[in-house]
Amino acid sequence: MHYVIEVAHCSMHFCGGKGCSNFSQNRMIMKSVIKYLITLCCVLFIQSLYAQSGPCKGKVIDGITKEPIAHASIQINNAKQGTYTNNKGEFEWPFNGTQQELLVSFIGYQPLTVLVNQQQSSLVIELQSSNNTMQEVVISANRDVARRSQAPVAINTLTAKTIQDTRPITADQVLNKVSGVYMVNLGNEQHSMSIRQPMTTKSLFLYLEDGIPIRTTGLFNHNALLEMNMAAVRNIEVIKGPSSSLYGSEAIGGVVNFITLAPTALPSLKLSVQGNDIGYKRADVQTGFTSGKWGVSVNGYYADKRNSYIEYSDFHKEIVSARIDYRFSEKTMLTNSITWMDYYSDMPGGIDSTRFANRSFSNPQTFTYRKVRSLRYRSTLNHVWNDRSKSSVSLLYRDNSIGQNPAYAVKDDYRRQGNGWVGKKDLAHGEINDASFNSYVLIAQHKQQFGWKDAAIIGGISADISPSTYRADYIRIKKDSVSGKYLGYESKDSVLTHYRSNINNYAAFLNMELSPVEKLRIVASLRYDLFQYKFDNYLKPSAFSGSPDTTNHFSAVSPKIGFTYNFSRSIGVYANYSQGFVPPQVTEMYKGVKVPNLDPSVFYNYEAGGWISLLKGKLSADLSIYYLDGTNEVVSVKLDDGSTENRNAGKTLHKGIEMGINANPVKDISFRFSGAYSRHEFTSFNEKGVKYDGNEMNGAPNWIYNTEVWYRPSYVKGLRVGVEWQHLGSYWLDPVNTVKYPGFNVVHLRAGYLWKGYEVWVNAINLGDSYYAYTASKSSFGYSYNPAEPRNINVGLSCDFGQFFKK
């Protein structure tokens, strides 16, 4: 806007000649002064008008995480005028008049109307997550931001709001809210998992951090999520079913993607402390800011547990993540992040049937432990070429070691042999082992959109070079034959296993989408993986130490095709066919194996589902049905000479139905139901000479559901009270199907109060003090139970010092 002001030139002078009187001189001077003052007033008035019509500036941020929200819509109410926020969440809009109403909105958030007047030089607008989950934005479905309604997969998002309301100590306390998911709590953040599979420690699940696997292929660890920094997590996405066509191996039962916090738009510093009455204590720090082209975020926590309800079950964990963003321009940004963790835990193991029946939490293990040290560094360069084209390149480095004196390796010398018993009652055998690896990873990805049929292609390549080592040393254990406690051990100069393996994984992937007709979206993806395992045995090959030095190659092609059809913005259906694969793990290929000769296990998945949103978002539901056929699964086959050998000889079948319901029947109350019915069967399974054909798989409950109700009274702003009910149905303890565990029901009560930047919460876990086991099993060594925590009260307090930085 430009203003042109023509000002008459005024000449002020005094003449001293004839015909010029003092009066006339003064008159001329006064006229000149008056003209000058009038001109000056006009200029100042016009400038004041321009100041009142100056730009309205502001930032739109997430109300919980304080991260900027890019591409949020800013509209003037009742006018066809508006703008969008930039990548920093900033916007600028010419201001006209004394006040205006701005409607601020973004997918997945509740729209907000803001009244703006000329006295406000800068706005900070905080959006809150929406309760309607049908139109959420998801990232994991096709490796890029997409509408949930255009993703032909069963995918659920645990939002920042859900995580804050729950205030979880461990990841299972939020993940188990997802239909069909049961993350088994094995104590001290250790776990196993069940997603479209039985509760298992097998490599059938893929865990990601910002879309990149936490661990490398072939070295799966069922405790991988203890390496996650929950203080740095913004939200969690769970894809159920095979996703190998995009993410590669191990993505069979499901993919869990932890999306981390970005630097906050405003300076932020959150400190919190919490603890419960069974020995757990924790302190968190979350901080971040953005200044010019730089953005910084640092998050971490220290957790410690002593003298808990189970003997010898102490642990501590310290973990910190740092992220630095540098924005070269609106189109180019470099992100560097690093996570470091040091973890130690006693390893109590499960308790036997006698202790479980007597509710005895004494622990026979007095010295077993697990130590984990991990470092992950990632550097990602993102560039937007134009509105239809963008690329990213990521470099990743991992340094990981797990040292153990494992309870599962402790075996009594006194054992049954034939019709009698042999060995010493005061002697047991065990091992101390260490597994370490480094990874050097490159991932390059490009997305190209087209004007024809709203088509888009995402393609990329990846390379993962991961050398690893493993060593196990024998220890001789002294046992008290009366109490059954393992009292101590002595190391012997005896190496059980010692090898090095190099795992190279090269892959290329392609995801294609288009809408041939309105409302229909077709998505197809394809991935090719090439593996090279190089094994060097430092010991003489044997049935225990492992195979001779060798190199193995194998490859896998993983397709997926599906569609979504949206009848309207509130009703849609989808279907897909996909394949997933699991390469042999290094331990399966080489440890205790004479001749390594395994192929990837392949799973074939057929799936359909849909979603609906009613009553203006007050009621929504989603449904999925799946049929998953597993082939070439690794089983241990008993040979004629009595030894065993791993072979691709197993087949299994997994089928089920999953449902989620969200409702807001009245303003102050919200309701959620997440449930699944499934059946997991051995189709063809002959392990060590025993056939399981037609049996249900052990550790596979038919029913899993989780229900939750929250009450947020409008007359007490910031207060929340929630009740959660978790049900796990009965399941077989052994693959022969001889004994069942009855399952359990457990209720949790949570309450919190948020006032300005201060929050206090109280969580009553296992409110009814139910006595049950997180998981139970039966083997040739007897029964094993992992007893759940008794009723415990967790109290926490946090302060967000970022409130003092707000303008």
Which fold is adopted by the domain 55-127? Answer: Immunoglobulin-like (2.60.40)
Of these ranges, 3-17, 274-288, 645-659, the one predicted with the greatest mean pLDDT is 274-288
Structure tokens at 369: 């432990």
Helix ranges (DSSP H) in 630-777: none
**Pairing state of beta strands 415-417 and 411-412?**
unpaired
More confident residue, 25 or 8: 25
Phi/psi-derived region of residue 211, left when phi > 0, alpha when psi is between -120 and 50, beta in every other case: left
Helix (H) or strand (E) holding 408: none
Count Cβ atoms below 10 Å from residue 572 Cβ, excluding itself: 24
| pLDDT over 50 (residue 758) | yes
More confident residue, 55 or 193: 193
For tokens 């603890």, the residue is 275
How do the domains of the chain map onto residue ranges?
Answer: 1-52, 55-127, 256-805
Three-state secondary structure readout of 583-646: CCCHHHHHCCCCCCCCCCEEEEEEEEEEEEEECCCCEEEEEEEEEEEEEEEEEEEECCCCCEEE
Quick one: which of 108, 256, 241 has its CA closest to 177? Answer: 256
- Put simply, whether the predicted model's pTM sits higher than 0.85 gets the answer yes
Lowest mean pLDDT: which of 433-447, 584-598, 724-738, 754-768? 584-598
**Pairing state of beta strands 205-209 and 254-260?**
parallel
User: If you average pLDDT over every residue of the chain, what do you get?
Assistant: 88
- pLDDT for 306-323, tens place per residue? 999 999 999 999 999 999
The reported pLDDT for the residue numbered 21 is 47
Count Cβ atoms below 10 Å from residue 468 Cβ, excluding itself: 20
- pLDDT for 218-235, tens place per residue? 899 999 999 999 999 999
- Average pLDDT for 108-119: 77
| pLDDT over 90 (residue 500) | yes
| pLDDT over 80 (residue 479) | yes
Quick one: which of 387, 527, 363, 404 has its CA closest to 447? Answer: 387
| pLDDT over 80 (residue 134) | no
- Average pLDDT for 393-403: 97
| pLDDT over 50 (residue 37) | no
- pLDDT for 517-565, tens place per residue? 999 999 999 999 999 999 999 999 887 788 889 999 999 999 999 999 9
The reported pLDDT for the residue numbered 522 is 97
The reported pLDDT for the residue numbered 373 is 97
The reported pLDDT for the residue numbered 589 is 85
Going by pLDDT thresholds of 50, 70 and 90, the confidence category of residue 454 is very high
The reported pLDDT for the residue numbered 266 is 87
Helix (H) or strand (E) holding 47: helix 22-52
The reported pLDDT for the residue numbered 594 is 65
Structure tokens at 484: 């059954």
Count Cβ atoms below 10 Å from residue 17 Cβ, excluding itself: 5
The reported pLDDT for the residue numbered 206 is 95
| pLDDT over 50 (residue 734) | yes
The reported pLDDT for the residue numbered 221 is 93
The reported pLDDT for the residue numbered 643 is 60
Lowest mean pLDDT: which of 413-427, 502-516, 588-602, 675-689? 588-602
- pLDDT for 659-668, tens place per residue? 999 999 888 9
| pLDDT over 80 (residue 513) | yes
Going by pLDDT thresholds of 50, 70 and 90, the confidence category of residue 806 is low
Residues making up the chain, counted from first to last = 807
Cα radius of gyration rounded to whole Å, the chain: 32
| pLDDT over 60 (residue 470) | yes
| pLDDT over 90 (residue 648) | no
Structure tokens at 207: 């865990």
- pLDDT for 234-250, tens place per residue? 999 999 999 999 999 99
Going by pLDDT thresholds of 50, 70 and 90, the confidence category of residue 74 is confident
CA distance 101 to 109: 18
What is the three-class DSSP state of 550? strand
How would CATH label the architecture of 256-805?
Beta Barrel (2.40)
The reported pLDDT for the residue numbered 641 is 59
Going by pLDDT thresholds of 50, 70 and 90, the confidence category of residue 40 is very low
Phi/psi-derived region of residue 447, left when phi > 0, alpha when psi is between -120 and 50, beta in every other case: beta
Contact 73, 84 (CB under 8 A): yes
- pLDDT for 353-370, tens place per residue? 988 999 988 888 999 999
- pLDDT for 412-448, tens place per residue? 999 888 788 899 999 999 999 999 999 999 999 999 9
| pLDDT over 50 (residue 43) | no
- pLDDT for 161-210, tens place per residue? 999 999 999 999 999 999 999 999 999 999 999 999 999 999 999 999 99
| pLDDT over 90 (residue 45) | no
- Average pLDDT for 629-658: 81
The reported pLDDT for the residue numbered 165 is 94
| pLDDT over 50 (residue 1) | no
More confident residue, 33 or 701: 701
The reported pLDDT for the residue numbered 34 is 46
CA distance 194 to 196: 6
| pLDDT over 50 (residue 133) | no
Quick one: which of 779, 752, 775 has its CA closest to 763? Answer: 752
Quick one: which of 378, 308, 361, 370 has its CA closest to 342? Answer: 370
